[in-house]
């Protein structure tokens, strides 16, 4: 197994909210770590024009990724215009083929924002098509299909308000400070959300949610995931093997 992992999301700071604790554990295990976003974050501001905020947010994402020696990639789509189409699938698949990850993390399939849902579907297809010879992508195909994990939706609920229960928890208590420092790099978002949502709890809400998942899994802080187990995808939960001692499943918790 190639020791490469990537988190692919819609916007800069999505990964920091959802899975950089787990990515930090991979980095500690000497894996090559990558973080990618389909969009630049060009709508996440009440102050700057699109070009200015895109430059700022990509720089913030690069700074954040650097804290865990990760590489940041942006596919340069626009916020609110992430579509499940030929261009987005081809560009995402090209990125996956170039990096050749063994494990992929992405957005949940039901969430409050369509950009997140489209990203989830695009990544699902891009992973499945990574080995297809006739896809219109210059990068050479590779196999096998990587392991694919969906992160929690924001606040742990789908777009209808139903609670989403993760099937897998990763204990991130030892790296919560790193996860916090990574999110703090996204200074422009803290300012914008304070103006847009009238709430200044950017960091505290992330930590509070991680503490909620930690309580559910009998630890202090945790991140939750659901593995994609459709036909053609790996069926074993490889996180248990790769991060021994940090992973518990809902199934094991219900037996306690």
Local confidence pLDDT in tens for the 256 residues of the chain: 899 999 999 999 999 999 999 999 999 999 999 999 999 999 988 789 999 999 999 999 999 999 999 999 999 999 999 999 999 999 999 999 999 999 999 999 999 999 999 999 999 999 999 999 999 999 999 999 999 999 999 999 999 999 999 999 999 999 999 999 999 999 898 776 776 666 657 888 999 999 999 999 999 999 999 999 999 999 999 999 999 999 999 988 887 6
Burial readout 33-54 (b: 16 or more C-beta within 10 A, e: otherwise): bbbbbbbbbbbbbeebeeeebb
Q: Tokens 């804290």 sit at which residue?
A: 67
Cα 60–Cα 94–Cα 21 angle in degrees, nearest 5: 40
Mapping DSSP onto H, E and C, the string for 199-244 reads CCCHHHHHHHHHHHHHHHCCCCCEEEEEECCCCCCCCCCHHHHHCC
Q: CATH number of 4-251: 3.30.160.270, 3.30.70.20, 3.40.50.300, 3.40.50.10320?
A: 3.40.50.10320
pLDDT recorded at residue 1: 86
Residues 6+ apart with CB under 8 A from 89: 122, 125, 126, 129
pLDDT recorded at residue 45: 83
Q: Are 38 and 92 in contact (CB under 8 A)?
A: yes
The structural domains of the chain, with segments of one domain joined by +, span 4-251
Q: What is the pTM of this model?
A: 0.96
pLDDT recorded at residue 199: 60
pLDDT recorded at residue 200: 57
């Amino acid at each position: 197994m190639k020791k490469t992992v990537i988190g692919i999301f819609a916007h800069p700071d999505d990964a920091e909210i959802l899975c950089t604790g787990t990515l930090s554990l991979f980095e500690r295990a000497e894996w090559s770590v990558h973080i990618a976003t389909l969009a630049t974050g060009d709508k996440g501001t009440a102050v700057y024009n699109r070009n200015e905020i895109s430059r700022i947010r990509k720089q913030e994402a690069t700074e954040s990724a650097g804290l865990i020696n990760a590489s940041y990639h942006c596919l340069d789509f626009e916020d609110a215009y992430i579509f499940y189409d030929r261009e987005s699938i081809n560009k995402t698949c090209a990125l996956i083929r170039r990096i050749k990850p063994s494990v992929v993390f992405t957005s949940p399939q039901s969430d409050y924002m369509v950009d997140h849902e489209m990203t989830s579907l695009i990544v699902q297809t891009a992973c499945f098509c990574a080995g297809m010879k006739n896809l219109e992508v210059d990068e050479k195909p590779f196999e096998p299909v990587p392991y694919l994990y969906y992160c929690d939706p924001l606040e742990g609920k789908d777009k209808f308000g139903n609670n989403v229960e993760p099937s897998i928890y990763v204990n991130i208590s030892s790296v919560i400070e790193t996860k916090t420092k990574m999110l703090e790099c996204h200074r422009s978002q803290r300012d914008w959300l304070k103006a847009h949502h009238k709430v200044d709890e950017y960091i505290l809400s992330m930590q509070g949610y991680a503490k909620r998942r930690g309580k559910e899994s009998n630890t202090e802080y945790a991140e939750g995931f659901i593995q994609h187990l459709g036909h053609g995808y790996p069926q074993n939960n490889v996180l248990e093997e790769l991060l021994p001692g940090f992973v518990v499943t809902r199934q094991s918790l219900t037996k306690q």
